[in-house]
Amino acid sequence: MGFTSDFNKIFPIFASNLNLMKKLILTLLVCLTTTLAMAGNVLNEGFEYANHDLEKPVGWTCDDNSWLCGYLEKDHSRMPHTGNWYAFSNAQDSWMYMPMYLIESMKYRFTLWAITDGSFQFEIWAGSAPHPDDMHTQFFSTTIEGGEYERISAFVETIPPDCHYIGIRAIGDNRDAYLTIDDIEIDMVEQYSFEAEPITGDTSMYPGTQAVFHYLVHNTGYDPVDVSMHPSNEYFTDFSCYANGVSGMTIATQPDETVEVTIYATLRPEVEPGTVAWLDIMMTIPCNCNTAMVTFWVTPLDPTGISESNMPIINVFPNPAINFVTVEAEDLRHVNVFDETGKMIKSVSANGNALQLDLSDLKPGVYFISISTRATSSFVKPILKM
């Protein structure tokens, strides 16, 4: 089918690492009906089970080897590992089939990643047998142009009868161009559903001080939904919430949209040092069919056990600032910059007692700097950018 022998030149190596989130507890409570108790991932196919390079993907049927499988040391800026199996094709019309019985009463979401150095029409079908003539229902169709990896995702709300196979079709007009796909996922989904993923790690702070917490909310259903935030007040007070630049405890999400949420909260002054403290943020949607909760663990520090002369001193100057600001504190660990809406716009790791932040790319306005040291990560300082 016209494959070149030098397959290592198909695509450049993609190498960027995602930081794995550490020491974080995520509690996800999903209230589903009995029918949907099995809802979840039906197929997660990264082609990692292929046994040799340049063979058709294991478990898939493809005529004339129009799709082949390979391995490339790459990382699409989204995977925690550095290599991945993938399938690719440069045929003018290529099909690949996987046996899968789709239930008519269920709803599905198809997701995969794709890249090409040309132009391809990409389609997902369902049918009764692994043959083009038996693929009777098209679920998805899009044009993939040359460029970077792109995520392709589509919801299928109606499953017709006699869907025992899924088919992937690629139509290209240039035999010198290749289409690569991997990480195919097919999930059963609900009309209203969402997931929550914490970003902020463990926090050490003094009672009476403020901390910043971050998490992501992903609408995994196939309809828009409003998600309401309900932070627990056992250990924290004075809450303010921002999502995508909007203040409030309710956020509007679109299907397959991911929203970054920032919550400012103050640890109650009466919390005893050494207490096992936490902040629970419960999230609900109007239909009450899906509920999620993220938990942030907090270590209250004891300010009375430290002499006044040894209390942490944090300086941020100049303030107002024009292009640069200096942060001084003992044993700096991390410095984050937020805008007035709570959106994090800079994150810098530190090692030492001083750090210079470049603000030259920011518009004039008020920003907040969250400063993490070896002892605490509770300090939030406002700064005026001129």
Profile the chain (386 residues) by mean pLDDT over runs of 10 residues. 34 28 24 32 65 75 83 49 70 91 85 88 94 94 86 87 93 85 84 83 78 87 89 91 84 89 88 88 82 88 59 77 85 78 74 84 83 65 77
- What is the C-alpha separation between 25 and 373, in angstroms, rounded? 22
Residues 6+ apart with CB under 8 A from 206: 267, 300, 301, 303, 376, 378
- What is the C-alpha separation between 350 and 8, in angstroms, rounded? 38
Residue 63 dihedral angles phi and psi, to the nearest 5°? -70, 140
Same CATH topology for 7-21+38-189 and 194-305: the answer is no
**Total residues found in the chain within this entry:** 386
Its pTM stands at: 0.55
Parse the chain into domains and list their residue ranges. 7-21+38-189, 194-305, 312-385
Q: Report pLDDT for 73.
A: 54
Residue 144 · residue 114 · CB < 8 Å: yes
Q: Report pLDDT for 316.
A: 84
Q: Report pLDDT for 136.
A: 95
Q: Is omega for the bond preceding 318 within 30 degrees of 0, making it cis?
A: yes
Q: Report pLDDT for 204.
A: 78
Domain 312-385, CATH number (from 2.60.40.3080, 2.60.120.260, 2.60.120.680, 3.30.1490.20): 2.60.40.3080
Q: One-letter amino acid identity for 110?
A: F
From the centroid of its chain, how far is CA 294? 15
Class of domain 7-21+38-189: mainly beta
Q: Report pLDDT for 305.
A: 57
The superfamily in CATH containing domain 194-305 is Immunoglobulins (2.60.40.10)
- What is the C-alpha separation between 197 and 25, in angstroms, rounded? 10
Q: Report pLDDT for 151.
A: 85
